[in-house]
Amino acid sequence: MAGFWREYRENWVAVIALAVVSLVVAAALAAPLITPQDPYDLANLNLMDARRPPGFVGSGGYAHWLGTDAQGRDLYSAILYGLRISLQMGIAAGAVALAIGAALGILAANAGGKIEPAIMRVVDLQLSFPAILLALVLVAVLGQGRVPLIIALVTAQYAYFARTAYGAATAERQKDYVEAARATPLPGRRVVLRHLLPNCLPPLIVVGTVQVANAIALEATLSFLGLGLPPTEPSLGMLIANGFQYMMSGRTWISVYPGIALIILIVAINVVGDQLRDQFNPRLRR
Amino acid sequence: MSAALLEVRDLRTHFHTRAGVLKAVDGVSFTLARGEILGLVGESGSGKSVTGFSLIGLVDPPGRIAGGSIRFDGQELVGLAQPAMRGLRGKRIAMVFQDPAATLNPVLTIGQQMAMAVQAHGGGGERAARELAARSLARVGIPDAVARLDAYPHEFSGGMRQRVAIAIALLHQPELIIADEPTTALDVSIQAQILAEMKALAKESGTALIWISHDLATVSSLADRVMVMYAGRIVERGPVAEVLHAPLHPYTRGLLDSLPALATPGQRLAQIPGSTPSLLSLAPGCPFAPRCARASTACGTDPPQVGDARHGALCHHPLGAGP
Amino acid sequence: MLGYIIQRLIQAAFVMLAMSALVFVGVYAIGNPIDVLISPDATQDIREAAIRHYGLDLPLWQQYLAFLGRLLQGDLGRSFVLNIPVLELVLSRLPATLELALAAVLMGAFIGVPLGIYAGYRPESPASKAIMAASVLGFSVPTFWVGLILILTFAVNLDWLPAGDRGPTVEVFGVGWSFLTREGLAFLALPALNLSLFKLAMMVRLSRAGTREVMLSDTVKFARAAGLSEFTILRRHVLRLISIPLVTVFGLEFGSTLAFAVVTETIFSWPGVGKLIIDSITSLDRPVMVGYLVLVAFLFVTINLVVDLSYALLDPRLRRGRRA
């Protein structure tokens, strides 16, 4: 573990990215403590403060450092709360997709027979179909809200985990120690839990990191298209969408600041994921 | 014999790696006359291939020629600008590689690849290029050469593919061909064929040939002179017959003893104990000393040149001169 | 080759069948099928007539066969909102999307591949590192956000290009195209660029990885030994060798480009099928959704087929092997 961190530290870009991710997560967790306003409490909002530029001191008596949106929300507060939602959705969807996908992939690798090709055919078919379309249709069929959104994100993403787990598990299965473990009278389940799962984890973690970023981007995209969460609890995508119509009139901050927050988060997660991929990939190892 | 075609003086090619400087070629000197066939023999990692690539100016980074001189027909090649070097490559100095399956481009026809090689040096139009290519294929013994121009590499057998590679090398009638283990990847029966054909082609066209191989037997059937390389240095050089029958260097002796063709039937083949040293951590003195039965404390210093200009070696205790 | 084509056609038919089953189960079985078929404002009589007409009282497998039958006749139902046949509606919008997607994919290839080859040829140069950093951005930054920035920069601040809509088109074979006039191109430029960025980043990465590998191969060394110039080696040897995986991805990505056109078309008000599906989702126009899905699935299967066949054309080893 110490060696892993030492190798990670060699890439200073990845170190900065990790710091940014930690900082964003911490800020999102502490959002109620470090923001002047609860942007979801309609009683707090004053339309007199709407669409004010950064630095404007509103009716609350404090300065809106990033300006306000069309409902008079303090953008700084709204962005931190939006990051909270984005992270929640991304991590929840990523975790569920990882659990389902890994289970399916390892099952397929172990089951053999007819189950193996059946599962992997569906997975491959779905991989060739763009995630955004699936998510779009599911949200349309299931309606809006957190649970439908997570279902849509999971459906769009589990196949990546299944592919990864399947690949890692079949590669691992052919190694001698798993064969040896199978030859002992241990029940099959223990072989899977003790041996296969731990060895499938590194690639799954890499895919998981990237997929959390993808889930956040996908959620933002769906919200931007008006198919995400209800407008009373704007996520970053919806803040950007709402600001879009004011962009032409020069009030760019409503869209631009939430967008920058979103991009910093996604890029940072992806950089961390890239570095993890390089470190876990034995082919790139010296 | 006419003036030397190639004159190499104290060639040093080094690789700058993270672990340190790897001296793959460490002070190699030799001359080559026009039309002469020279065998360059050594184990893998002895620096024989890097020597070949140095001559044609194709050492891959992180390697580079650190010093010395290569004079080709009076022209200095070390430090020569890339465009001028490129003008020589394929035109006056050609190279043939070990694995024809890897050197030919699998998605282009033989004719396309040969035409590119022709047009790299002027060569005129498409038609002229194809004609030249077909003639060259016919020369290396490929039947129905014109039709075969439109075939892809995978449609040839291994031996035929290597003939195609040789035909590409011969396109511009170069004065020097460097052949880097060109028969190692082939079947034994085809090896002998190609060997004989190469020899005939070289003699007929007056092309000088540097034949790089790990196999002393192959080289001895082909070359006029032979050089034995060990750890980046030439440890023995001389006419083939003399080196085979009266080697000076214990390493050459070891190589000869491990050849099945020369061993007494019924006797176990001898092996040289130990393995080639890491070029990163060479101790001073003779690099072969740790594996050498004749080694003494004197071998801790650089070995002297023994023998004469025709047949010589780098050794403190050469064979046939007492222990 | 012919046997191979037939084999792939049969495979494609099976995939299409599976897709239609998925769409059927997804929309007809999970959702309330009657909502899909007729407007929610319809009276009870009309509803019951429709249930009988569409055979919704029949078992599911019979319904699926009936659905397939209508599908084969090109009957995808009528749009609630616009009250015209779905097939006609989708087909009238398709050229705009195809043009946009094609422009985007071509842009991605013609800009991305040379950049990627350069980055693979000189991996240590500062320009290559900048290219790779930009490709990470292209991968990570959501399409809609890039679209906003493009509008803000080129339409609002610089006022060089229009911010949205399709502008004038020229009719060829009864279909309107933008790329034939200067003005049309101006309208096409920003959406196409927006849609291409992800593909561009992908092309850069793929061609860089391929080039790095090929540059170390004996093929390149042998070509150098034959005196070929570096440019000729890159153009003739490297490009041909990396083109096989590139064409595969290129084709497959054309499908996902059609899908991502949803976002770009919404931002730039581009009147294609992507905007149509978003509009139909917000107005709950389910027959249009089903029609769009079936059509996209069909496009996907067709594209996969074409990619497989062109793969065989590009790789002579495969071509001859298959013929034998």
Higher pLDDT, A228 or C228: C228
Distance from CA of B322 to the nearest CA of C (A): 46
Distance from CA of B5 to the nearest CA of C (A): 19
Are the C-beta atoms of residues A37 and A49 closer than 8 Å to each other? no
* Residues across chain A: 286
* Residues across chain B: 323
Q: What is the pLDDT of residue A286?
A: 35
Q: Which of C214, C238, C224, C237 is nearest to B83 (CA)?
A: C224
Question: What rounded mean pLDDT belongs to chain B?
Answer: 84
CB contact under 8 A, B108 and C236: yes
CATH at C172: 1.10.3720.10
Candidates A16, A79, A123, A141, partner chain C, best to mutate (most C CBs within 10 A): A141
Higher pLDDT, A223 or C169: A223
Whether the per-residue pLDDT at A79 is higher than 70: the answer is: yes
pLDDT digits (tens, 9 = 90+) for B55-113: 998 888 888 888 888 999 888 888 888 888 888 898 899 998 888 788 888 888 888 88
Q: Are residues B257 and B296 in the same domain?
A: yes
CATH at B10: 3.40.50.300
Q: What is the pLDDT of residue A100?
A: 93
B322 belongs to a structural domain: no
Whether the per-residue pLDDT at A49 is higher than 90: the answer is: no
Residue type at B115 in one-letter notation:
A
| β pairing state of B233-239 and B225-230 | antiparallel
What is the share, in percent, of chain B residues with pLDDT greater than 70? 95
> N- to C-terminal Cα distance for chain B?
37
C108 belongs to a structural domain: yes
B8 belongs to a structural domain: yes
A139: which chain C residues are within 8 Å (Cβ-Cβ)?
Answer: 281
The stretch C253-276 carries a mean pLDDT of 84
Question: Cα–Cα distance between A216 and A206 in angstroms, integer?
Answer: 16
Confidence at C27, pLDDT banded by 50, 70, 90: low
Q: Are residues B194 and B49 in the same domain?
A: yes
Q: What's the DSSP call for residue B20? A: E
What is the share, in percent, of chain C residues with pLDDT greater than 90? 2
Q: Are residues B178 and B282 in the same domain?
A: yes
Question: Cα–Cα distance between C313 and C319 in angstroms, integer?
Answer: 6
Q: Are residues B38 and B180 in the same domain?
A: yes
Comparing alpha-carbon positions, the chain C residue that sits nearest to A126 is C19
Question: Cα–Cα distance between C163 and A248 in angstroms, integer?
Answer: 9
Q: Are residues B160 and B28 in the same domain?
A: no
Higher pLDDT, C316 or B160: B160
The stretch B16-35 carries a mean pLDDT of 86
Q: What is the pLDDT of residue B227?
A: 93
Which residues are registered as beta bridge partners of B176?
B93, B208
Q: What is the pLDDT of residue C39?
A: 65
Whether the per-residue pLDDT at C237 is higher than 80: the answer is: yes
Among the partner residues B86, B107, B165, nearest to C240 by beta-carbon distance: B107
pLDDT digits (tens, 9 = 90+) for B276-309: 777 777 778 888 888 888 888 888 888 888 888 8
What is the share, in percent, of chain A residues with pLDDT greater than 70? 79
Among the partner residues C19, C156, C293, nearest to A137 by beta-carbon distance: C293
C109 belongs to a structural domain: yes
Comparing alpha-carbon positions, the chain B residue that sits nearest to C214 is B105
pLDDT digits (tens, 9 = 90+) for A237-273: 888 887 777 777 767 777 788 888 888 888 888 888 8
Q: What is the pLDDT of residue B323?
A: 45
Among the partner residues B89, B98, B112, nearest to C226 by beta-carbon distance: B89
H or E element in which residue C138 lies: helix C126-140
* Residues across chain C: 324
Among the partner residues C26, C137, C143, nearest to A267 by beta-carbon distance: C137
Q: What is the pLDDT of residue B201?
A: 84
Question: What rounded mean pLDDT belongs to chain C?
Answer: 79
C59 belongs to a structural domain: no
CB contact under 8 A, C218 and B99: yes
Q: Using CB atoms, list chains with 3+ pairs below 8 Å to chain C.
A: A, B
Question: Cα–Cα distance between B214 and B228 in angstroms, integer?
Answer: 10
Q: What is the pLDDT of residue C319?
A: 57
Other CB atoms within 10 Å distance of the CB of residue B298: 13
CB of A159 within 8 Å of a chain C CB? The answer is no
Comparing alpha-carbon positions, the chain B residue that sits nearest to C220 is B103
Structurally, chain B folds into a number of domains equal to: 2
Q: What is the pLDDT of residue A96?
A: 94
Owning domain of residue C167: 89-271
Distance from CA of C308 to the nearest CA of B (A): 17
What domains, with CATH codes, occur in chain A? Answer: 2-40+65-284 (1.10.3720.10)
CB contact under 8 A, C227 and B89: yes
Q: Residue B183 — φ and ψ, nearest 5°?
A: -115, 0
- Residues of B61-79 as b/e, b for ≥16 C-beta within 10 angstroms? eebebbebebbbbeeebbe
Among B75-84, C80-89, C162-171, C178-187, the range with the most confident prediction by mean pLDDT is B75-84
Q: Are residues B227 and B309 in the same domain?
A: yes
Distance from CA of A26 to the nearest CA of C (A): 22
Instruction: Report the SS3 class of residue A215.
Output: helix
Of B134, B168, B202, the residue at which a domain comes to its end is B168
Least confident of A24-33, A209-218, C19-28, C261-270: C19-28
CB of A224 within 8 Å of a chain C CB? The answer is yes
Among the partner residues B90, B102, B154, nearest to C317 by beta-carbon distance: B154
Higher pLDDT, A41 or C226: C226
Owning domain of residue B121: 108-168
Q: What is the pLDDT of residue C322?
A: 38
Other CB atoms within 10 Å distance of the CB of residue B240: 19
Are the C-beta atoms of residues A53 and A60 closer than 8 Å to each other? no
C225 belongs to a structural domain: yes
Positive or negative, the CA dihedral C98, C100, C103, C104 is negative
The stretch B252-273 carries a mean pLDDT of 73
Peptide bond into B62 cis (omega under 30): yes
Whether the per-residue pLDDT at A139 is higher than 70: the answer is: yes
Q: Are residues B224 and B290 in the same domain?
A: yes
Q: Are residues B135 and B184 in the same domain?
A: no
Q: What is the residue whose two structure tokens read 């491990």?
A: B258
pLDDT digits (tens, 9 = 90+) for C148-166: 888 888 877 777 777 777 7
ipTM: 0.84
Query: What are the distances in angstroms from CA C125 to CA A238, B10, B65, C120, C230?
Result: 40, 33, 22, 10, 17
Whether the per-residue pLDDT at A282 is higher than 60: the answer is: no
Comparing alpha-carbon positions, the chain B residue that sits nearest to C122 is B61
CB contact under 8 A, A225 and C263: yes
Q: Are residues B182 and B293 in the same domain?
A: yes
C236: which chain B residues are within 8 Å (Cβ-Cβ)?
Answer: 108, 112, 116
Q: What is the DSSP string of B248-260?
A: -SHHHHHHHHT-T
Q: What is the pLDDT of residue B322?
A: 46
Confidence at A108, pLDDT banded by 50, 70, 90: confident
C169 belongs to a structural domain: yes
Comparing alpha-carbon positions, the chain C residue that sits nearest to A219 is C142
C88: CB partners within 8 A, 6+ apart:
none
A256: which chain C residues are within 8 Å (Cβ-Cβ)?
Answer: 152
Residue type at B153 in one-letter notation:
P
CB contact under 8 A, C140 and A221: no
B77 belongs to a structural domain: yes
